[in-house]
């Protein structure tokens, strides 16, 4: 178990100005080249830009972002950084499945669209959309532990199957929205079977199961597809985020990229499409966003930390359906052990400061 770490250098936002070109400071080397940081005690700053030996020169404010966090400042290099947006898919946040428009996931989506994504693109930070996207083979080989998280349909004998109700999913990822399961005799849904915004509750029977038809905002009906399988409506991005992704694909240099994952973490095991891409591109610093903070985002962040990537959580660009303490736990550990915690406005400020210095 990792010790509880207390930051010995409390940050002072009111005095924490970008004085890199005017004030020399002692810098300590942390780690071994080439995966190393530099640290300055006054003001407390971690340099994550991997400066070259033997001088380990401090990066210019014209080519690096000074980012305020909840514990100290960090310096990041846009060319070595990616914004990793996790699971902002229809299944998790679409109002057409009963997700509240003012819910945590959709609030995070607005922070991404209004602030984080524009700032990242201005700075030249790569945007990665890391999403569930399963194949038939992956469903076939999915372990029981992961199946349980999304609900399951147990193999029963015929008599037991006839008596059994729908599979129950107690995991927060589903937000009680899926297939309508009960109607009264008049054909109307009982009020107890509606979500808080009046949509019918649904119940899924596991990854790869069909979720049935979905009525869109314009009144048209689409096939929701098999749960979190590739190329389905439920695994696609909601319209505004999808438009942003398509705009990002048009960027000439470092366009947005979509990467499929097949577990809650997109960086689990010895190798995944995400880890392969990050290593190929030489990306060292990851800005994490998406849903759910304490599940897929937190799992991916912890695996990234374990494998040596720099981890920065954009807390207002993340959301969860879990109780508040779940997010607080992730943020507390991220700030003190796994990396750093900041928000979209701080990222935007850091990018604007870098651009104004040029």
- What pLDDT does residue 157 have? 44
What's the pTM value of the predicted model, to 2 decimals?
0.84
Provide the 3-class DSSP secondary structure of residue 95.
Answer: helix
Angle, CA 103 vertex, CA 92 and CA 350 arms, to 5°: 95
pLDDT-derived band of residue 169, with 50, 70 and 90 as boundaries?
very low
Residue 243 CB contacts under 8 Å (≥ 6 apart), including other chains: none
- Of 14-23, 56-65, 205-214, where does the model show the most confidence? 56-65
Average pLDDT score over residue span 291-304: 97
| Residue 184 CB burial class (10 angstroms; 0-12, 13-18, ≥19) | exposed
Mean pLDDT is lowest, of 99-103, 119-123, 177-181, for: 177-181
Cα separation values, 31 from 37, 39, 97, 231, Å:
7, 11, 47, 42
More confident residue, 316 or 199: 316
User: Is 50 exceeded by the pLDDT of residue 156?
Assistant: no
What is the share, in percent, of the chain residues with pLDDT greater than 90? 72
- What pLDDT does residue 149 have? 82
More confident residue, 162 or 322: 322
Query: Within the chain, what is the greatest distance between any pair of CA atoms?
Result: 79
* DSSP bridge pairs for 65: 76
- What pLDDT does residue 202 have? 54
Average pLDDT score over residue span 12-18: 42
User: Is 60 exceeded by the pLDDT of residue 199?
Assistant: no
- What pLDDT does residue 204 have? 58
In this predicted model, what pLDDT tens digit does every residue of 208-245 receive, in sequence order?
988 889 999 999 999 999 999 999 999 999 999 999 99
Among all chains, which residue has been given the structure tokens 């960090």?
Answer: 74
* Tokens read off for 76: 């990041």
- What pLDDT does residue 232 have? 97
């Amino acid at each position: 178990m990792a010790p509880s770490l207390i930051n010995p250098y409390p940050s002072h936002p009111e005095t924490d100005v970008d004085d890199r070109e005017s004030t020399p400071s002692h810098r300590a080397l942390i780690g071994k080249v080439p995966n190393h940081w530099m640290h300055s005690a006054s003001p407390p700053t971690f340099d994550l830009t991997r400066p070259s030996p033997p001088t380990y020169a401090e990066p210019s404010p014209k080519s690096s972002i000074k980012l305020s966090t909840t514990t100290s400042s960090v310096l990041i290099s846009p060319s070595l950084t990616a914004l990793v947006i996790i699971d902002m898919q229809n299944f998790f946040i679409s109002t057409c499945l009963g997700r509240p428009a003012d819910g945590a996931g959709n609030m995070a989506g607005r922070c991404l669209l209004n602030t984080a994504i524009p700032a990242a693109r201005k700075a030249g930070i790569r945007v990665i959309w890391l999403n569930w996207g399963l194949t038939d083979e992956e469903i076939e080989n999915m372990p029981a532990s992961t199946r349980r998280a999304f609900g399951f349909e147990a193999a029963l004998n015929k008599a037991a199957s006839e008596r059994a109700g729908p599979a129950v999913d107690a995991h927060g990822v589903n937000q009680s929205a899926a297939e309508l399961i009960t109607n009264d005799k008049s054909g109307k849904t009982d009020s107890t079977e509606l979500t808080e915004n009046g949509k019918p509750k649904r119940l899924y029977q596991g990854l790869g199961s069909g979720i049935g038809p979905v009525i869109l905002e314009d009144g048209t009906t689409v096939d929701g597809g098999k749960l979190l399988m590739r190329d389905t409506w439920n695994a696609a991005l909601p319209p505004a985020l999808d438009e942003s992704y398509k705009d990002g694909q048009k960027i000439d240099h470092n366009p947005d990229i979509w990467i499929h994952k097949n577990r809650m973490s997109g960086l689990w095991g010895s190798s995944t499409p995400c880890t392969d891409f990050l290593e190929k591109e030489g990306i060292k610093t990851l800005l994490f966003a998406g849903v759910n903070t304490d599940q897929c985002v937190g799992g991916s962040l912890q695996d990234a930390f374990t494998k040596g990537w720099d981890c920065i959580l954009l807390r207002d660009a993340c959301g969860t359906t879990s109780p508040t303490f779940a997010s607080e736990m992730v943020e507390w550990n991220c700030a003190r052990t796994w990396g750093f915690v900041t928000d979209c406005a701080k990222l935007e400020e850091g990018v604007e400061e870098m651009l104004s210095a040029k």
